[in-house]
Amino acid sequence: MGFRMGIVGLPNVGKSTLFNALTRTAAAQAANFPFCTIEPNVGDVAVPDPRLDKLAAIAKSKQVIPTRMTFVDIAGLVKGASKGEGLGNQFLANIRETDAIAHVLRCFEDGDVVHVDGRVDPVADAQVIETELMLADLESVEKRLQGLQRKVRGGDKEAADQERLLKAAQAALSEGRPARTVEVADDDRKAWKMLQLLTAKPVLYVCNVEESSAATGNSQSAKVAEMAAAEGNAHVVISARIEEEISQLDAEEQAMFLEEMGLEEAGLDRLIRAGYDLLHLETYFTVGPKEARAWTIRQGTLAPQAAGVIHGDFERGFIRAETIAYEDFVSLGGEAAAKEAGKMRAEGKGYLVKDGDVMHFLFNT
């Protein structure tokens, strides 16, 4: 299981440039005019994980298959989008289909790149988009509440539960707070997610800075960091132009380039890690001579459900999981040595899978 992250922002903030870097393609046209991205571009990108390569080397795996993430480059938003301005309606529909929002903010000065409002203010830009999403959510909530009235009066329990959650969202939005600030009980989480509220989605602010500020950030990205901390959201600092250049180099050239720029790692890696944290994701591995493969699950996933990520039959017929911690697999030199040292465990249906577990599932067909 991967996840789907929408790349959003005002026009000309660097969304398409970042998308090109992420997917290592030129599929998204990066041009200096609003709405150069007319249709959402969708790209799958491999999740870099040095642990997978190490496991594959130890097991002498013929194939190495990383887990993947889906990024969606969504058309630029403008003020008034909630009322259909610009490409607003299309933008709002596309963002509903994502699990999280990577909100790209322009944190660089460049007279050659037009800003839709004629100024560089990433905090104000963030507020424009947040306001449009809240207005769209409020309109959606009010329409749904009206549509539920007859069912609620008729004693429909499901409709009553939905009304309760919608009213909680309405109260927050009316106070100028996004839906993600609403405290939702564990029993209500599934129903809450089904509401598909735009502002309920977790947000990662991506500060797009000039090349010289890629390692340290600048005064504009510092303002975003302060805003993100106050909201309980995450942020990363990236130079989209640098990332696009890096994406065209081979591994050796990338390492040299990063060193010259004073960067410890590519911004892509930081972005993916931040995305994982944002959605509470983790990785487990299956390793053998044929292939070494990474699988993404949500934190708190039990062994049968983790097995189901590979195939539904694995979950339905689950017997047990043979599990080796990543550190044990590596330090002892592989499965056989770990088993001999007593580090392979047989885990049942109640086992909570841990990040980095190397697993083999036994199941009934």
DSSP 34-56: TT---S-EEEEEE---HHHHHHH
- Higher pLDDT among residues 264 and 60, named by residue: 60
Report pLDDT for 117. 60
When pLDDT is averaged across residues 39-59 and rounded to a whole number, the result is 85
Average pLDDT over residues 62-66: 92
Annotated binding residue at 67? no
Q: What's the start-to-end Cα distance of the chain, in Å?
A: 22
Percentage of the chain surpassing pLDDT 90?
A: 52
Asked if pLDDT for residue 358 goes beyond 50, the answer is yes
List the strands of the sheet with 345-347, edge to edge. 63-65, 291-298, 281-287, 358-363, 318-324, 345-347
Q: Mean pLDDT, to the nearest integer, of 300-327? A: 95
> pLDDT grade, residue 25 (50/70/90)?
very low
Tokens standing for residue 203: 């947000």
pLDDT of residue 62: 96
| Residue entry with tokens 């630029």 | 76
Look at 1 and 13; give whichever has higher pLDDT: 13
**Domains by residue range for the chain, with CATH:** 4-278 (3.40.50.300), 300-363 (3.10.20.30)
Q: What is the pLDDT of residue 32?
A: 40
pLDDT at 78: 56
CB-CB contact of 208 with 113 (8 Å):
no
How does pLDDT run across 163-175, given as a tens digit for each residue? 999 999 999 999 9
Q: Please tell me whether 174 is known to bind a ligand.
A: no
**Is it the case that residue 185 has pLDDT exceeding 70?**
yes
Take residue 45 and report the two structure tokens written for it: 């990108």
The reply, when asked if residue 12 is annotated as ligand binding, is yes
Model-wide pTM > 0.95: no
Q: Which two tokens stand for residue 265?
A: 């790692």
Q: What is the mean pLDDT of residues 199-217?
A: 93
Q: Is 13 annotated as a binding residue?
A: yes
At 115 the pLDDT is 60
Token pair in block for residue 239:
């130079």
pLDDT above 60 (res 26):
no
Alpha helices in the chain (DSSP H): 15-23, 50-59, 88-96, 122-153, 157-174, 189-194, 219-231, 240-247, 251-261, 267-278, 303-310, 312-316, 326-332, 335-340
* Stretch 344-356: mean pLDDT: 96
Decide if pLDDT at 114 tops 80. Answer: no
Report, as an integer, the average pLDDT of 155-182: 93
Q: What is the mean pLDDT of residues 211-227?
A: 93
Strand partners, 281: 298
Record the tokens describing residue 10, joined without a space. 């005002």
What value does the mean pLDDT of the chain take? Answer: 86
Distance, CA of 355 to CA of 282 (rounded, Å)? 5
Q: Residue 218, annotated ligand binder?
A: no
> Is the pLDDT score of 122 beyond 60?
yes
pLDDT exceeds 50 at position 28: no
> What is the mean predicted confidence (pLDDT) over 73-86?
59
Least confident of 126-135, 202-211, 349-358: 126-135
Is residue 85 within 8 A of residue 19, CB to CB? The reply is: no
- Between 193 and 46, the higher pLDDT residue: 193
Amino acid at 164: R
Q: Is the pLDDT of residue 247 over 70?
A: yes
Predicted pLDDT at 268? 82
The stretch 85-105 carries a mean pLDDT of 75
**Rounded distance, CA 43 to CA 69, Å?**
8
Nearest to 195 by CA among 167, 233, 155, 232: 167
